[in-house]
Structure 1
Amino acid sequence: MLQIAINGQLHRFQERLTILDALRFVKIEIPTLCYDERMKPLGGCRLCIVKANGSPHPVIACSTQISDGMVIETHTHEIEQLRRSLLQLLAHRYPADFVREFPDKEFHRLIRAYGLEEECTGKTSPELIDESNPYIRVDMSQCIYCYRCVRICEEMQGQFVWKIWNRGDAVRILPDSETNLRESSCVSCGACVDTCPTGALEDKSVLSLGAASNWTRTTCAYCGTGCEMNVGTREGQIVVIRPVQDAPVSRGHLCSKGRYAFDFVHAQDRVTHPMIRVNGSWQPASWDEAISFAAGALGRIVARHGSASVGVLGSARATNEENYLAQKFARTVLETNNVDCCARVCHAPTAAAMKLMLGAGAATNSFDDIERARTILICGANPTENHPILGARIKQAALNGTRLIVIDPRKIELTRYAALHLQLRPGMNIPLLNAIACAILEEDIQDEEFLNERVSQFQEFRHFIQEWTPERAALLCGVEARKIREAAHIYAREKPAMCIHGLGVTEHIQGTEGVMCLVNLALLTGNIGKPGTGINPLRGQNNVQGAAHMGCDPGTLTGSIPIKEGSDLFATVWQRPIPTQQGLNLLEMMDAAEEGHFKALWAIGYDIFLTNADAHATRRALSRLELVIVQDMFMNETAKEFGSIFLPAASSFEKTGTFMNAERRIQRVRKAIEPVGGSRPDWEIICDLARAMGKGDLFSFRSPEEIWNEIRSVWKAGAGINYERMEYGGLQWPCPAEDHPGTQILHKTTFSTGTQAALRLVDYKVPEESADDEYPFILNTGRTLYQFNAGTMTARTPNSLLCGGDFLDISTQDAQRLELFESELVRVRSRYGEAVLPIRITDSVAPGELFASFHTPHVFLNFLTGPHRDKFVDTPEYKLTAVRIERYSGL
């Protein structure tokens, strides 16, 4: 510990603190303008000067480290006069109007504090205003050249948008396009706005709606990263969202969706009152009428066809508490295990593979291990577009020396920073991953100590894998054997090595086995159970991890406990027997509906018609149902064509509860505004319907916290996570007791299945889809940066101005051969259907391959995808469809 004197008072501090750190620790404020704790200190503005050790020259507090015995004075007359002089230099060209209009800006507060309002004599220059970005207004009349925008874009986002042009009096800060923000490489994350101390960069929503009068800390409702944010409201409306500085996941950062895409809450087409379809048309109804209608219809169908004929779908957009109630409703009110959620069509293969091999179907490590890893293997994931905050952290790690291996059919942004890009053919994950394993053993670079202590069936695996030489795999996957061996060497030798994977692994007919192959690599090299290692799936939606973990799965109860194993405990807590008949998953429900055996479906926050693969089969199945209850914010495609009852749900901004992110972290969701119109939180709707069906005693909850406490009583691994402990930053399970700190890394000494994990022998199966003369292209599908899944939320925000409808990526070579031009509409046909969308000519896809997004209903891309499914969990094959391209004539 170091002892220093500050303004005559002795204090003790840890080493390696700066003077500014020490001052803030003892709550002594000094002015700063170029400082932001998310960036490296610059010391450019010099306002944080202090007197140290009696020296006649002041020192800069933000970049000077404390030393033992240091004597610091912070507000001497001389220091204050120097600060005032520095501020005068900045004030003389600054417009006074902005100081009065936005008094809470950092710079404006200092201007007033030092009595410099009259010094502000600058004028606004129209040529310095840029309105091109739908969210951000640029007015460089207010720029004081602190360079915070430049630095945060480099050091946090890694985008390098803002550039310093010229020198001296001619210096200017402009985007890299040298024109406007819209034409630059800006990704609209808003970090530059967040750090700007003056308003040179400002959110347009604040300018149009006014500054926020209330703030609420909550968790983002988009991807599974789990970023925390402060929601600013004014007169019951959201006006701005800012990042939470001390959030453990997002670390004071947000992406364009989390920060800006909130206008859907007040969208004109939001449905805010219940509706019942009568004689083919929707009619408004009261809540009592809608609940009574739904209860009566469900009761009649169960009485006539049995409990096996009905099912419930939980929602990745709903809270943990609400998904818990959804599966409890299915099992206690409807008395069926027919309950599922959208994890079925994305990461069910991950959960199955990791549960089978390691004993827990969730990420082994934390996001903080990104900065601890020496190597990061990214397989079938595109983090900078689909999980932008994690993508930015990975990008920064690469810029600081971490070695990236990217396995992807496309050239994604992170391939620019990668030591190695293995650009395999779609559907060839198994041959490639097996070949990496083979190369590890050929070069004898496996972790023998780890294998001896913690891995079984190694000799069987060695015998099997020796046939998967890099040369054999190269012929199938199109990646040079030399590169496969190089990847093996980096992953096995440059440790710790972390594996991050996404839907490019799971949404295949061998999705579960693809994840098994990744686990094999981690076990072979000892890259598991340690900091900077592990198998870490990037979950697609905000609470898809939680939805499945809460029991929205036909085979498991809350905590991913098999029904047979957990039925006694749950029956005791619920005071109802647990159904024993095997339940149907989502795809099995569709099959049974088409066959006429399944009659009613309650879909909560899930547009299954638009998002399921093989939309023709989904349409046939849904059309045969007698009852479809849709619970959502908008009249989605499922509701439009098949809905019987529409129950309007509240958004995450309008309720409380918890979400579970991809690293097993459970975080608070807090109500920032009242529910719009007559919409209600999902948990209230479920409880109302249970009461209407005579089971109100099981659903007598008065708050989400009461629901959560029941969850803790049936889920031992979450028993220690109460609402109070989740107040700031949340906790990661397992956390079995209230004095337990939570678990950052799983499998440190043992696996949930025992002391050893078994390697799996995974052979390659030829894909059901392949290119031929009639269908010469292979189509891959996925999300984009600015739109999210079915576009239910983002398509109702200005994000649509940044990226409108869906598009089809085609290589330059193929476009030239087919004489197609940029943005031309084409008809894409598969063996199952067709879609029309514009092309985008790019070198990110290889010749013979295509990539399309799937966000817009008018394109309805899933009329192209087929019926093929993973044999373990029924996850559809979204990533590989044989297609052809035709010119579109408009007919």
Structure 2
Amino acid sequence: GGTSLKDSPCVSCGACASTCPSGAIDDKTVLLLGVPERFTRTTCPYCGVGCELDVGVKGGRITQILPALDSPVNKGHACVKGRYAWGFLDAPDRVTRPLIRKDGVLSSASWDEAIGFVAGRLKDILAARGPSAVGVLGSSRSTNEENYVAQKFARVVLGTNNVDCCARVCHAPTAHAMAGLFGTGAATSSYDDLERARTILVCGANATENHPVVGARIRQAARRGTSLIVIDPRRIELAAEATIHLATRPGTNVALLQAMAHVILREGLADEEFLRERVVDVEQFRTALAESTPERVSAICHVPVDRIVAAARLYATAKPGLIVHGLGATEHRQGSDGVAALSDLALLTGNVGKPGSGVNPLRGQNNVQGSAHMGCEPSRLTGYVPIAKGKAAHEALWGSTLPAERGRDLMEMIDAAGQGALSALWCMGYDVAQTNPHRQATIAALKKLELLVVQDLFVTETAAEAAHVVIPAAASFEKDGTFMNAERRVSRVRAAVSPPTSDCRPDWVPLAEVARALGHGEQFAWHNVEQIWDEIRVAWPPGQGMAYRRLEQHGLQWPCPDEGHPGSTLLHGETFSMGKTTRLAFERFTETPEHVSEQYPFLLVTGRTLHAFNAGTMTGRTKNLELRPTDVLDIHPVDAGRLGIDDGAHVRITSARGEVELPARLTTEVHPGELFTTFHDVKARVNDLTGDVRDTATHTPEYKVTAVALAPVGARG
């Protein structure tokens, strides 16, 4: 009668099985499915850390996954998702044949029938409505090669820049803000700089749950004496390790960060030499910050003045300092401004371009960095190059005239579909209906499309609700290619097993076949993914040195402009990507329109958990579901007591958009008046609650602030 591991602090990473000297502990799957006959090295399909994994196979099935001991990324570690969440490959509801909706029902079809159907519908829509009426969504779960083909298909075959990916709903503000200040919308340093930093500032990143391998390194650094500043409304695990925890009110990051900048300038803590050499218009920035005093901002963000001042002093003086941020920084009305404010802190203190310093986003999906970088972005081409700058080179490479005007982003495409201005959408590996905010409005918009193509492993909510065609896909364990992780590392993806049927093909294949059916066969005539990658290297000069043979051992970090280049672990040492100097960014803090009221007195924050991943398409079909069967609502005991809510009881959460029911978890990790839940359970449908407020620069939805009401199930009014 001991305590179950499920009720212990164990995070189910499997490290005990890997390190047990006697072999008494082993993975249960080895006992059930057999000792692997061979191992294949690949890259994890979950978060953006990019862990290398050794996939063990027996009889054509995965029986064990081990973390790569020699990997510079994960150094022999993995999390419960990367090591154990692969059972979805054999899920009984896997899509193994194309489906076409006939008389309202998705019915099996042949591969040729599906390709012909899609090509015919696209041809008719283009003829009747033109290129502005069609769009393509790439996927952060797909490889670089597949995303490159998707955006090339949109621009060459469909003639539109209506192409995007799910970076739009997570880290588009990161890329936008960092490209504006540094010239490059990506991490300025590497994971290894966590061990070199004297101070780590973590803003809006619950790393121990969402990026566990990096989160563990941050925790270890703190325990070795590195100063740790955590900015998060919740008392996350890293807050317990923090030197200073700034528990800011949801939606007020910009005010808090600008107050820290104010303190740094007011107290003479800025790196004046760095500012003289690398930053212009500093005095204008100082003037703009005049009202951002910690005394004024404390009342806005609910953080004591002394903590704001202490955090600013610590970051500015205990150098080098490294900033790590996540979706808690980006998914706000001022998400781009928040990332810019973080970057301002780094520039003010000279914490850029030196070992142990920098601004490093923790990207949420395995290839969210790569999907946008490959050109799945409505205003940028391969290499995240603006259309105007890269258009001529791409036209010469592709032998096609490209559209010049900016296309619609993901959110604008859904808006346009609802308004009847978008008629066709090809959606690759992204469950729009489950993931986008204001779920019911999203589904209503999708249902107005004349053609919705869903390319996925399963009949997702998007497919079930609105798809005209579902094309079966190959999972990352079943195909070859590359991913790009959060530290700019391009790593190999290798097939360890075969797809369940010959119709489950890599995502680039149906795109190329439809392109051929529409008369563009010569421009899509690759025979394998290495040929696609070699074309990418031509389109993207900073990646020209990354030949496949050079990626075999642990990958390379870009820029890597030629085959003699070792890759780049650190950026902006002498210059920024756009030149020697940059200027600080300032946008005045404004309150989000999503605020508490008498009708909706609570603020809800949504996020992720250790055991599940995003919309649950993959982890929801694995044994991980036993560890976290459904989403739960975190509520402070004071609020629960006032409302008569017991731990584990079901509660009704209501917003201006809809209502959901969840079991409650009483915890002091949240403040009174604030709630937290995840969005992994398709049955819970948490995004029925989230709203229409978006980042002003990138249209990224404000998932981190939703005004809601709360009541026990059974209570009304």
Superposition TM-score, scaled by structure 2 size: 0.99
1:543 aligns with 2:543: no
Q: Equivalent residue for 1:749?
A: 574
Distance in 2 (CA, whole Å) between partners of 1:434 and 1:202 is 50
Q: What does residue 727 of structure 1 align with?
A: 552
One-letter identity of the residue aligned with 2:343:
V
Give matches, 1:266-281, under 5 Å: 266-281=90-105
2:85 aligned to which of 236, 253, 261: 261
Residue 834 of structure 1 pairs with residue 678 of structure 2: no
Taking the aligned partners of 2:209 and 2:543, their CA distance within structure 1 comes to 31
Partner of 1:566: 390
2:713 aligned with 1:888: yes
Aligned to 1:613: 437
Distance in 2, Cα, partners of 1:182 & 1:359:
46
Pick which of 761-770 and 654-663 moved more.
Answer: 761-770
Instruction: Name the aligned partner's letter for residue 763 of structure 1.
Output: R
The alignment partner of 2:394 has SS state of helix
Q: Compute the displacement of 1:688 (Å).
A: 1.4
Question: Is 1:768–2:593 an aligned residue pair?
Answer: yes
Question: In structure 2, how many angstroms separate the alpha carbons of the residues matched to 1:281 and 1:315?
Answer: 26
The one-letter code sitting in structure 1 at the alignment partner of 2:495 is K
Q: Distance in 2 between matches of 1:499 and 1:835?
A: 36
1:823 equivalent to 2:619? Answer no
Q: What pairs up with 1:350-499 in 2 under 5 angstroms?
A: 350-499=174-323
Q: Is the 8 A contact 2:546 2:560 kept in 1?
A: yes
SS of residue matched to 1:404: strand
Q: 2: CA distance between counterparts of 1:706 and 1:236?
A: 27
Q: Deviations 1:853-872 (Å, cap 9, x if unpaired)? A: 00111111111011111111
Tell me the equivalent position of 2:344.
Answer: 520
Alignment equivalent of 2:129, drawn from 294, 298, 305: 305
CA deviation map 1:394-423 (0-9, x unaligned)? 111111111110000000001111100000
After superposition, residues 84-123 of structure 1 pair within 5 angstroms as none
Structure 2: runs of 5+ lacking an equivalent: none
SS in 2 for 1:814: helix
Q: Distance in 1 between matches of 2:698 and 2:277?
A: 31
Aligned residue number for residue 630 of structure 1: 454
Give the C-alpha shift of residue 620 in structure 1.
Answer: 2.2
> Whole-Å Cα distance in 1 between the matches of residues 610 and 292 of structure 2?
36
CA distance in 2, matches of 1:216, 1:619: 40
Partner residue in 1 for 2:412: 588
Superposed counterparts of 1:563-712, under 5 Å: 563-677=387-501, 678-712=503-537
Distance in 2 (alpha carbons) for counterparts of 1:571 and 1:780 = 44
- Percent identity, aligned pairs only, is 55
Alignment of 1:338-349 (within 5 A): 338-349=162-173
Matches of 1:282 and 1:672 in 2, distance apart? 30
Query: Could you tell me which of 702, 707, 714 is aligned with 2:539?
Result: 714
* Secondary structure in structure 1 of the residue aligned to 2:513: helix
Deviation at 1:890, TM superposition (A): 9.8
Question: 1:183 & 1:275 partners in 2: Cα distance?
Answer: 42
Structure 2: how far apart are the matches of 1:198 and 1:691? Answer: 57
TM-score, length-scaled by structure 1: 0.80
Q: Deviations over 1:63-119 (max 9, x none)?
A: xxxxxxxxxxxxxxxxxxxxxxxxxxxxxxxxxxxxxxxxxxxxxxxxxxxxxxxxx
Q: Distance in 2 between matches of 1:840 and 1:359?
A: 44
Q: In 2, distance between residues paired with 1:463 and 1:300?
A: 57
Q: 1:531 aligns with which of 332, 335, 355?
A: 355
Instruction: Find out whether 1:807 has 2:632 as its counterpart.
Output: yes
- Which of 379, 384, 390 aligns to 1:555? It is 379
Q: Does 1:198 align with 2:22?
A: yes
Over aligned residue pairs, what C-alpha RMSD do you find? 1.0
2:703 corresponds to 1:878 = yes
Point out where structure 1 has 5 or more consecutive residues left out of the alignment: 1-126, 128-177
Residue 152 of structure 1 is matched in structure 2 by: none
**Residue 855 of structure 1 aligns with which residue?**
680
Partners of 1:835 and 1:692 lie apart in 2 by: 45
Name the counterpart of 1:32.
none
Q: Deviations over 1:229-271 (max 9, x none)?
A: 0000001000000011110110011000000000000111111
SS of the residue corresponding to residue 202 of structure 1 reads coil
Distance 2:49 2:380 in 1: 24
Q: Once the two structures are superposed, what CA deviation does each residue of 1:421-473 show, in whole Å capped at 9, x if it has no partner?
A: 00010001011001000111121111111111111110011111121110100
| Structure 2 counterpart of 1:168 | none
Partners of 1:782 and 1:184 lie apart in 2 by 22
C-alpha distance in 2, partners of 1:706/1:777?
A: 53
Distance 2:212 2:415 in 1: 36
| C-alpha deviation, 1:747, in angstroms | 0.4
CA distance in 2, matches of 1:567, 1:232: 44
* C-alpha separation in 1, matches of 2:657 and 2:497: 44
Residues 154-206 of structure 1, C-alpha deviation per residue, up to 9 Å, x if partnerless?
xxxxxxxxxxxxxxxxxxxxxxxx64423321000001101113332110100
Aligned partner of residue 26 in structure 2, secondary structure:
strand
Give 1:31-70 correspondences, 5 Å limit.
none
Counterpart code for 1:556: R
Once the two structures are superposed, what CA deviation does each residue of 1:308-351 show, in whole Å capped at 9, x if it has no partner?
10000000000000000000000001111110000001000000
Task: For 1:553 and 1:582, locate their aligned partners in 2 and report how far apart those are by CA, in whole Å.
Answer: 9
Q: Distance in 1 between matches of 2:301 and 2:696?
A: 22
Q: Partners of 1:820 and 1:199 in 2: how far apart? A: 46
Matches of 2:283 and 2:638 in 1, distance apart?
A: 46
Distance 2:621 2:443 in 1: 25
> Which stretch has the larger CA shift, 673-682 or 477-486?
673-682
* Alpha-carbon contact 2:644-2:712 (below 8 Å) kept: no
Report the 3-state secondary structure (helix = DSSP H, G, I; strand = E; otherwise coil) of the residue aligned with 2:483: strand
Q: 2:327 aligns with which of 503, 525, 536?
A: 503
Q: Deviations 1:279-318 (Å, cap 9, x if unpaired)?
A: 1011111111111111111111111111110000000000
Contact between 2:643 and 2:712, CA under 8 Å: does it hold in 1? no
Q: Secondary structure at the match of 1:331?
A: helix
Tell me the equivalent position of 1:784.
Answer: 609
Q: 1:579 offset after TM fit, Å?
A: 1.2
Cα distance in structure 1, aligned partners of 2:469 and 2:518 = 16
Deviations 1:459-488 (A, max 9, x none): 011111121110100000000010000001
Deviations 1:585-615 (A, max 9, x none): 1111111111111101000000001100111
Residue type of the alignment partner of 1:636: T
1:315 matched to which residue of 2? 139
Shift of 1:675: 1.1
| Counterparts of 2:73 and 2:264, CA distance in 1 | 33
Q: CA deviation at 1:692?
A: 1.6
Q: Report the alpha carbon displacement of residue 757 of structure 1 after superposing the two structures with TM.
A: 1.1
Larger RCO (CA within 8 A; separation ≥ 6)? 2
Structure 1 stretches (4+) deviating beyond 4 angstroms?
Answer: none
Q: Is 1:846 equivalent to 2:671 in the alignment?
A: yes
1 CA distance for matches of 2:564 and 2:141? 30
Alpha-carbon distance in 2 for matches of 1:197, 1:479 = 48
Superposition map of 1:216-295 within 5 A: 216-295=40-119
Aligned partners of 2:337 and 2:586 also within 8 Å = no
Q: Which amino acid aligns with 2:632?
A: F
- 3-state SS in 2 of match to 1:725: helix
